[in-house]
Amino acid sequence: MVFDVARVRGLYTSLGDGWTYLCAHAQPQIPERVSSAVARGFRLSSVVEFTDPFKSNHMLTPEGGRLGAESQFASARYAIADLTGTSPEAVVLAPSLDVLYSRLNQALRPVLRRGSLLASRADVRQIDHTDVHYAEPDLGNGEVPAWQYAKLVTGATRLVTLSAVHPQLGTVNNVARIAENVRDHSRAWVLVDATGLAGFSSIAVEDLGVDMVAVDCTAFGGPQVAALALRDVSMFPRMDMSAFINDVAPGLAAGVPAAVDHIANLVEQDRGRRRDRLMTSLEEAGGYLRYLADYLADSLNAMTRLHVFGVTGEVAFGSTAIRIPRVTFCIPGVPAETIHNRLITNRMVTTIASDDPVLTSMGLAETDGAITVGLGPYNTTHDVDQLVRVLASLA
């Protein structure tokens, strides 16, 4: 089966405006079916649901479900459950990932009361705790080595948190191996922010080997909704579940199933459960995105004046880390604002790299700023070639 990128591009009406969007890491393009679902969701979220279907036929979906607010929340949880391989009852929604982590700080206090927390120094979002130990990222490629966890995890460790992907370098951590090392040395829970992997590969709890998966739906073209999927509801008694309140806008929640359906249909399929279609689609889309990641990194690294963080240099040479199509680069002597404006002039959208502990350790502060490029399943190698052509006028 061949990934049909032309067909996928047709699912995004915004791509017809003449701009080249290389900012999937910050502002992914929104599929037409998602924007339509959100508009419909806001329109119908205030509809009152009745128990007698004969009195409310105008409120029925083609599948026979009602379209009130509670039904929209339920559909969103079912969609996230399919994406993460858990049950709808074990899914919690929040307005954003920052809000979700803030509530996790309270919810996990009973778990951490008599134990330590192991976090990654590379992560922007952290769980607050007095006894925290850190796993350090490799400053060559930004990956957090899995072998560290075999030494850092002890019987006192109660929670391990990490991100599956570095948000600006695009380096993928070996979450499954890390979780295996944690299991070998403790009974700690593993919480992973799988936002960077969503739409790239499976983020199912079982596949990652973790206990909790957090994901920001905007990463795959969904609405501004974050979700936490737990391994199962048996984890609830150990947590302060009162920290989680349902304050997501029903209209936004209506876009979550559409976004997950969009991932499931990146590869055209006629039959099968959504969870099965997700696996097939993610395998094909993931293969294409890995190819795009290599093409992007190699094309920029071939430009001698460019420095690609985590790719350029002897320290990063020979790295076998898996990457998603996301890079951060700088041109010595050229301010990032100049690069960004030159790209905008050529109708190419990127972002200026933000402060990050790993990038800072890699020397970002000693440069004139850097640019981050992120590609989605709607991007092509032609987009990368156009990027290189514009950068060549500066480098």
Query: What CATH number should be reported for the domain holding residue 123?
Result: 3.40.640.10
Residue 238 lies in a domain: yes
Residue 93: predicted pLDDT: 97
Q: Are strands 157-163 and 132-135 parallel, antiparallel or unpaired?
A: unpaired
Average the pLDDT over 317-324 and give the result: 79
Last residue within a domain, chosen from 217, 233, 264:
264
201, pLDDT greater than 70: yes
Same-domain pairing of 19 and 131: no
What's the CA gap between 55 and 366, in Å, rounded?
A: 68
What's the CA gap between 231 and 210, in Å, rounded?
A: 8
Residue 55: predicted pLDDT: 43
- CA nearest neighbour of 388 among 290, 306, 293: 306
389 burial (CB, 10 Å; 0-12 / 13-18 / 19+) is exposed
Last residue within a domain, chosen from 242, 264, 286:
264
Same-domain pairing of 16 and 136: no
Same-domain pairing of 297 and 249: no
Same-domain pairing of 212 and 310: no
Average pLDDT over the chain, rounded to an integer: 91
Q: Give this prediction's pTM.
A: 0.91
Query: Number of folded domains in the chain?
Result: 2
Last residue within a domain, chosen from 204, 239, 264:
264
- CA nearest neighbour of 253 among 85, 46, 58, 71: 71
Q: Which domain holds residue 228?
A: 34-47+65-264
Residue 373: predicted pLDDT: 98
Same-domain pairing of 320 and 178: no
Same-domain pairing of 231 and 289: no
Residue 318: predicted pLDDT: 63
62, pLDDT greater than 50: no
Residue 321: predicted pLDDT: 82
65, pLDDT greater than 50: no
Residue 193 lies in a domain: yes
Angle at 94 between CA 144 and CA 78, to 5 degrees: 90
Residue 112 lies in a domain: yes
Q: What percent of the chain has pLDDT over 90?
A: 84
Most confident of 63-67, 213-217, 311-315: 213-217
User: b/e for 220-245, b at 16 or more Cβ within 10 A?
Assistant: bbbbebbbbbbbeeeeeeebeeeebe
Same-domain pairing of 174 and 317: no
Residue 55 lies in a domain: no
> Which amino acid is residue 196, in one-letter code?
G
Same-domain pairing of 127 and 260: yes
Q: Are strands 189-193 and 226-230 parallel, antiparallel or unpaired?
A: unpaired
Residue 57 lies in a domain: no
Same-domain pairing of 181 and 303: no
Residue 52 lies in a domain: no
Residue 153 lies in a domain: yes
313, pLDDT greater than 90: no
Same-domain pairing of 234 and 150: yes
**For position 331, which CATH number holds?**
3.90.1150.10
Residue 132 lies in a domain: yes
DSSP alpha helices (H): ranges in 132-230? 147-152, 175-185, 205-208
Crossing angle (nearest 10°) for helices 381-392 and 336-345: 120
Same-domain pairing of 243 and 378: no
Place of tokens 């307005």: 95
Q: Contact 382/293 with Cβ under 8 angstroms?
A: no
Place of tokens 């596949």: 207
Same-domain pairing of 130 and 214: yes
